[in-house]
């Protein structure tokens, strides 16, 4: 069943509950403010809450496999001996109206309000004389709605590994559960906003999301007609379109200064350069075909892109360490946050066929003058074809060959092996490259042990750092200036002296870092730039498409059916 069909099924279930569970004919609708709790005693409601809890939890089942925190709801009621949460002294806690308002604005966080049952709650609140059973139902549904929203706002609604097996960074927090054990519904509702990620990037993106949402709702996209490139000094209606679009997108601030709308002046060129930079285009100040194509991307598409990245932020820890290594895959850079300062450098990441995964590790040591044990996949797919083409390749590039992958494997003479007769799928030899400046790892590698066998390292292929898009490796991350990175990590410690001695002697040496550092390999396609504007990046690994499908934005094909 598709997620859209399942959403309709939940709506149908709740409608049925409203009619079937009513002990009297459907009352006339009244305003929510006139909701009054009548005859049933608190003991009766308590008993009914216990009876209705399992039914409600079953009715509001997860949609499309998303993990809703129903077990936590049950435990919270059990802990309070199934006393109602939203009804106190025969009065409805007024914070339920604030809860509904928060749930209806879930889209300001990139979450879908339909998942949080606000409309169902409002229908219940319009019942003039609710029965004992209906009071229990509204109490349980309100708690389910609150806990589901709290979970999704804190941890994200979707399971990253179900979307993308290469996304292995998911750091769920337990903070959202705590609000269900607060003393009152008022405290619970007031605590909800505190569960959103506190990182400034999340907060800035959220503001831009609201801006784009409101803009898309109240005015149409301004399109720039396709044609010859527009440059400084050009005039005409297409220049006016360009100016209007840049105003709409925020690259030109509104000004009362009178300008010739049809003229391509210096101010328009500066604004266009700003737009090009924050969309990773060639910043030449000319509106060519690629720039116009990017300008014409609809606002609603930008809304979706920001939504994907807000969800990605919710998959990260709620609090990031002050000292950390931040490998920004879509920006092809590593940012080292250490002792209150940040140093950045360019990196080369995995090619699309060998994606660098998103995950967390802890850097504990580095190796000087490392040898390279060639991963089996690279040996099969890259190394073997080169050996078949040139039998001297191994000797020329300093490779040793071992009989197998065991530590005690015998070293072999590669000239005695008939390489052309070896099938790629049956290659069982182990290859190691000697330590020198031509080694694929260069002179340094930086280790944060992980199941992916990914690390940061030097490279002899320095020319790749001049490229704008730098996805060329087999998965590991290559550093532009590994010597500077090493000095930064070891500065002022005894380990720095050990590194210098090893580099002078050419010795392969393992050096423990004086401070173990968390390493985050992250992937964002929208981030705030230094001016606080949204920077839309190239989706090098096509991960936004996976988010689009998982979050229900992708169009359904004719085969999508029950």
Residue 515 neighbours by CB under 8 Å, 6+ apart: 323, 489
Beta strands in 151-265 (DSSP E): none
476 included as an active-site residue: yes
Give the residue from 126, 67, 68 showing the smallest Cα distance to 96. 126
Joined together, the tokens standing for residue 154 give 């804190």
Q: Taking the mean position of all CA atoms in its chain, how far away is CA 84? A: 37
- CB 259 within 8 Å of CB 267: yes
Joined together, the tokens standing for residue 508 give 């392969």
Query: DSSP letter string over 340-358?
Result: TEEEEEEEEEE-GGGPPPB
Indicate which residue of 201, 397, 476, 481 is catalytic.
476
What burial letters (b/e) apply to 505-539, b meaning 16+ CB within 10 Å?
eeeebebebeeebbbbbbbbbbbbeeeebbbbbeb
457 included as an active-site residue: yes
Q: How far apart are CA 90 and CA 88, in angstroms?
A: 5
Give the residue from 117, 186, 201 showing the smallest Cα distance to 152. 117
- CB 448 within 8 Å of CB 327: no
Q: How many CB atoms lie within 10 A of CB 456?
A: 23
Give 547-555 contacts, CB < 8 A, sequence gap 24+. Answer: 547/163, 547/308, 547/311, 548/304, 548/308, 550/158, 550/162, 550/163, 551/158, 551/304, 551/307, 551/308, 551/311, 552/3, 552/4, 552/64, 552/112, 553/304
- CB 242 within 8 Å of CB 498: no
- CB 525 within 8 Å of CB 544: yes
Q: How far apart are CA 226 and CA 230, in angstroms?
A: 10
What is the DSSP secondary structure assignment for residue 263, as one 8-state letter? B
Q: How far apart are CA 176 and CA 93, in angstroms?
A: 21
Looking at the chain, how many residues does it have? 562
As separate numbers, helices (DSSP H) first and strands (DSSP E) second, the chain gives 20, 17
Indicate which residue of 115, 117, 337, 457 is catalytic.
457
Half-sphere exposure of 533 (CA within 13 A, CB side): 16
Give the residue from 314, 340, 249 showing the smallest Cα distance to 66. 314
102 phi and psi, to 5 degrees?
-65, -45
**Alpha helix (H) residue ranges in 278-383:** 289-295, 299-314, 376-378
The residues that are catalytic are 457, 476
């Amino acid at each position: 069943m598709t997620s859209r069909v399942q959403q309709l099924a939940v709506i149908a279930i709740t409608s049925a509950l409203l009619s079937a569970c009513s002990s009297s004919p459907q009352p006339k609708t009244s305003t929510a403010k006139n909701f009054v709790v009548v005859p049933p005693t608190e003991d009766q409601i308590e008993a009914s809450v216990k009876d209705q809890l399992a039914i409600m939890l079953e009715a509001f089942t997860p949609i499309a496999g998303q993990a809703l925190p129903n077990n936590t709801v049950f435990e919270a009621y059990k802990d309070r001996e199934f006393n109602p949460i939203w009804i106190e002294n025969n009065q409805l806690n007024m914070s339920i109206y604030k809860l509904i308002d928060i749930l209806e604005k879930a889209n300001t966080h990139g979450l879908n309000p339909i998942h949080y049952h606000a409309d169902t709650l409002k229908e219940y609140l319009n019942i003039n004389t609710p029965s004992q059973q209906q009071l229990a139902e509204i109490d349980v549904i309100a708690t389910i709605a609150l806990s589901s929203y709290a979970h999704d706002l804190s941890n994200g609604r979707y399971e990253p590994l179900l979307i993308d097996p290469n996304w292995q960074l998911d750091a769920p927090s337990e903070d959202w559960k705590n609000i269900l054990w607060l003393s009152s519904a008022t405290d619970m509702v007031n605590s909800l906003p505190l569960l959103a990620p506190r990182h400034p990037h999340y907060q800035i993106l959220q503001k831009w999301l609201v801006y784009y949402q409101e803009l898309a709702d109240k005015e149409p996209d301004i399109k720039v007609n396709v044609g010859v490139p527009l440059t400084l000094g050009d005039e005409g209606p297409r220049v006016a379109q360009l100016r209007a679009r840049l105003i709409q997108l925020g690259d030109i601030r509104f000004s009362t200064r009178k300008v010739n709308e049809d003229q391509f002046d210096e101010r328009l060129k500066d604004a266009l350069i700003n737009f090009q930079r924050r969309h990773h285009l060639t910043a030449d100040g000319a509106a060519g075909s690629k720039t116009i194509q990017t300008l014409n991307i609809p606002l609603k598409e930008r809304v979706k892109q920001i939504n994907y990245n807000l969800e990605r932020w919710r998959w990260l820890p709620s609090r990031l360490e002050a000292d950390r290594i931040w490998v920004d895959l879509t920006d092809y850079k590593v940012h080292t946050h250490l002792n209150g300062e940040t140093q950045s450098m360019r990196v080369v990441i995995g090619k699309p066929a060998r994606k660098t995964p998103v995950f967390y590790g802890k850097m504990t040591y580095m190796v000087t003058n490392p040898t390279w044990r060639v991963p089996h996949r690279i040996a099969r797919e890259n190394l073997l074809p080169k050996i078949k083409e040139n039998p001297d390749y191994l000797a020329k590039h300093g490779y040793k060959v071992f009989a197998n992958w065991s530590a005690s494997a015998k070293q072999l003479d590669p000239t005695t092996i008939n390489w052309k007769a070896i099938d790629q799928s049956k290659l069982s030899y182990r290859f190691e490259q000697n330590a020198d400046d031509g080694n694929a790892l260069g002179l340094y590698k930086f280790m944060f042990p992980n199941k992916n066998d990914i690390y940061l390292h030097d490279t002899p292929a320095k020319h790749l750092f001049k490229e704008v898009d730098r996805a060329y490796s087999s998965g590991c991350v290559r550093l532009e200036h590994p010597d500077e990175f090493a000095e930064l990590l070891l500065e002022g410690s005894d380990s720095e002296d050990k590194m210098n001695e090893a580099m002078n002697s050419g010795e392969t040496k393992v050096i423990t870092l004086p401070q173990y550092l968390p390493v985050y390999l992250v992937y964002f396609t929208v981030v705030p730039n230094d001016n606080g504007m949204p920077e839309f990046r190239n989706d090098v690994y096509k991960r936004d498409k996976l988010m689009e499908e998982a979050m229900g934005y992708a169009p359904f094909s004719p085969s999508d059916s029950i």
